[in-house]
Amino acid sequence: MTRIGIVGEFGRETRVAATPVTVRQLAELGYNIVVEKGAGELSSFLDNAYAAAGATIVGADEAWGSDIVLRINPPTEEEIGRLTDGATLIGMLSPALRPELVEALAARPITALALDAVPRISRAQAMDVLSSMANIAGYRAVIEATHEFGRFFTGQITAAGKVPPAKVLVAGAGVAGLAAIGAASSLGAIVRATDPRPEVADQVKSIGGVYLKVEVEEVMTSADGYAKATSEAYNRRAAEIYSEQARDVDIIITTALIPGRPAPKLLTAEDVAEMRPGSVIVDMAAGQGGNVEGSVAGERVVTDNGVVILGYTDLPARLPAQASQLYGTNLLNLLKLLTKEKDGQLRIDFEDVVQRSVTVVRNGEKTWPPPPVQVSAAPPAQAQAPHAGGSAADTAKKTGLSPAGKAGLIAAGMAMLFGINAVAPAPLPQHFTVLLLSIVIGFYVIGKVHHALHTPLMSVTNAISGIIVVGALLQITSGNTFMQIMAAVAVLLASINIFGGFAVTRRMLAMFSRGNRADG
């Protein structure tokens, strides 16, 4: 039976690659699980909890000698040497930033999978460890800023005087940025956000933020789900906005990262010098050079004018239990993909874009970088004016039916209805008429409800349910007892679907209606 080893981390890392919950699920895939003694203690997962989940507690050497080794951080040269020939290592390897690690892994007859190289496509979301950790990091960045900030986030009016709300600027509205916006907004702060991708404006607004648009001609798009480098024009205008905001806000959280490249500089030393004493900056990109001039990776810095700059690189590890659970679930989902037969045998299929993308080394052969993955469609091409020489058929295809043509189709449909009713035996004409009336009423009564009141998908399903309700109501007065019972059941079930749909939509709208505060 293939053995999976959960090994301990080193340094300041408090997370662990698997929790008792995920260990139990890994065992259901047919694997034998061993856990290094004390590997989960810093995450509050004790050895007896792993043992109760079906794992065996072993020493470090035995865990590293497993067929499959799960961990979080990239291994050291010494740890690579502890792997057995033919073993598979899975973790966050950052292959784009660590070419020397890729070479060291390829020097051994092993397989290495980088969990942080999962492509950002829909079916791979359950394995996207970068998003999971960024979500935690964004939330924790706000908590760290709250700890350093000397005032309330929310505004208050008390007998002792008025307390203004804190003003927060979030640079970058990716996963981490949106998590920070949501956390700061829920604490009562006025939150503003910038991002080169205009499509995130609605997301920022929906969780209580104000989107600050950088007015330039270029439109940012991303084909792989990650941020891209911006143009000179954008950078100039963005720098002006950051300078303006630095003089006004109390807290700045920067999240801008470009995979495989140093973090872009967003705030200069002059911008920091313009901030008020006691202000806080959390530079979440400090580990890759930093978005803020003067930030130091892993350190807390206080400037001459009293601004606190936090360059912590271990924000997810500051919520170790939650981070370990999410990371372990991402790992579990990857192993489910690699063990479809649930027989404890890991199989890598390079025809699968997800498996190909995460594979850095396969049996000692370097497979990094993988072929590029297109995850978003290109913008639709602008419609071109028809050429003067175009045919009449081409023009008809582009312009669609004329009003006269539509009227002709309606007339033909009515004539067909009357023709069927004229020759069809009873009670077919009655049933046919009921069906058509049900479709018309259901479509116009429910299908035409504005999508601001419910989602397009719910609009269609409710329209279908409306057709069922109308048809069943017309049949409920039938003299046949069986027909009456079936009609009543149909009305009940369709009504549950309609009213339940609107109830769910109401809750969704209530969730997104927070944060429409005036920016004062």
Question: Rounded distance, CA 43 to CA 322, Å?
Answer: 8
Residue 11 Ramachandran class (φ > 0 left, ψ -120 to 50 alpha, else beta): left
Treating both helix axes as pointing N-terminal to C-terminal, what angle do 129-148 and 320-338 enclose, rounded to 10 degrees? 170
Cβ neighbourhood burial of 322 (10 Å; 0-12, 13-18, 19+) = middle
Give the CA distances from residue 334 to residues 40, 254, 323, 328, 340, in Å, rounded to whole numbers and listed in that order. 21, 30, 17, 10, 10
For 134, the token pair is: 């960024």
Decide: helix, strand or coil at residue 190. Answer: strand
Asked about 312 being catalytic, the answer comes back as no
Residue bearing tokens 């950052």: 94
DSSP letter for each residue of 93-139: --TTT-HHHHHHHHTSS-EEEEGGG----GGGGGG-HHHHHHHHHHH
∠ CA 143-149-240, nearest 5°, is 95
The DSSP result for 424-483, as a single string, is: SPTTHHHHHHHHHHHHHHHIIIIITS-TTTS-HHHHHHHHHHHHHHHHHHHHTT-S-HHH
Which of the following is catalytic: 44, 123, 125, 506? 125
Q: For residue 128, indicate whether it is catalytic.
A: yes
Catalytic residue from among 226, 234, 356, 517: 226
Range list of H helices, 208-304: 232-246, 269-274
Q: Which residue has the tokens 């929906």?
A: 206
**Gap between the Cα atoms of 214 and 242, Å rounded:** 10
The helix (H) or strand (E) run that includes residue 331 is helix 320-338
DSSP output for 376-402: SPPPPPPPPPPPTT--HHHHHHHH---
C-alpha pair distances (Å), 167 with each of 90, 251, 265, 306, 493: 41, 6, 22, 17, 49
Q: Which of 43, 66, 94, 131 is catalytic?
A: 131
**Helix pair angle (320-338, 20-28), 10° resolution:** 10
120 is catalytic: yes
Instruction: Provide the token pair at 69.
Output: 């080794």
Determine if the peptide bond prior to 429 is cis (ω within 30°): no
From the candidates 31, 67, 94, 128, give the one annotated as an active-site residue.
Answer: 128
Q: Which is the catalytic residue, given 24, 98, 120, 237? A: 120
Catalytic residues: 120, 125, 128, 131, 226
